[in-house]
Amino acid sequence: MIDDTELDALFATPPASFIGARNALASKAREAGQKDRARQIDALRKPTTVVWLINQLARDRHAEVAGLLTAGQRLREASLKGSGPAPLREANEAWRAAVARALREIRRIAGRGIDEPRIVATLAGAVADPAQAERLARGRLTDELQPPGIEGVLDALAKAPPSRPRAAAEPRAGMAVSNATSLAEERRQREAAKELREREHAAAKARKEALRADEVAARLERRAKAAVDEAAAARRTADEAARRAEALATKARQPS
């Protein structure tokens, strides 16, 4: 039977060895009659280095990840409740401090340079989604994630000037949130348009490569057919030569 300990061991496996370990675990599940579990294991994709490092952080530093999740939840609540600039700024600062601690530990785990932007984006995306947050807590993330749109709002508020008395601050805060939200939406639209262009370019490139491959295959097929025809002609010529040689030999053996 496949238990959570064996599944956790799979997520602890370095990316280079993941496929082999996954296939072995899936085979073991099938042999144990756990067909559904085997299919789930087979569906697991090889993690990127970013995802693997974050999962190891969750395994090695439970307190750091718990603090990160708490800070992320506090930030979500402050942003959704509209608590005002000061509480939101404090929650944002706590979140940034938790991320800084996480990055420090991830560098220690990696023992080398790390891709900080992708790691931070995945951490932000994980804490924004309860299901992903649970996977993060268990060290079982499977994909890199993108931060939620509110990130742009929080960045704008974090850079805002100190608040004035409450009566004057609240309208300004509302305008800041509105403007930041618009900017975040525009940024998402630009990124979506860019991604669409990149996919269309990749698709066009793939179609060209497929056509080129078809042409190459056709040429090779024609060459192979020509080679087969030439070989058949050569065999016929050789057979004819052999028959003539045999006829001459038979004639030579006959008495004069």
Give 90-148 pLDDT, tens digit per residue.
Answer: 888 999 999 999 999 999 999 888 899 999 999 999 988 889 999 999 999 989 998 87
- For 40-96, the pLDDT digits (tens) are 899 898 999 999 999 999 988 888 899 999 998 888 888 777 667 888 888 889 999
Structural domain count, the chain: 1
- Domain assignment of residue 145, yes or no: yes
Q: Residue 93 and residue 83: Cα distance in Å, rounded?
A: 15
> Is the CB of residue 51 less than 8 Å from the CB of residue 61?
no
- Domain assignment of residue 249, yes or no: no
- Domain assignment of residue 204, yes or no: no
Q: Residue 24 and residue 19: Cα distance in Å, rounded?
A: 9
**Percentage of the chain surpassing pLDDT 90?**
28
pLDDT average, residue stretch 215-240:
83
- Domain assignment of residue 185, yes or no: yes
- Domain assignment of residue 205, yes or no: no
Residue range of the domain that includes 69 = 5-195
Q: Cα 35 to the chain's mean position, in Å?
A: 26
- Domain assignment of residue 244, yes or no: no
Q: How many CB atoms lie within 10 A of CB 146?
A: 14
Please, what is the angle between helix 85-110 and helix 49-60, to 10°? 100
- Domain assignment of residue 217, yes or no: no
- Domain assignment of residue 157, yes or no: yes
**Percentage of the chain surpassing pLDDT 70?**
81
Residues in the chain: 256
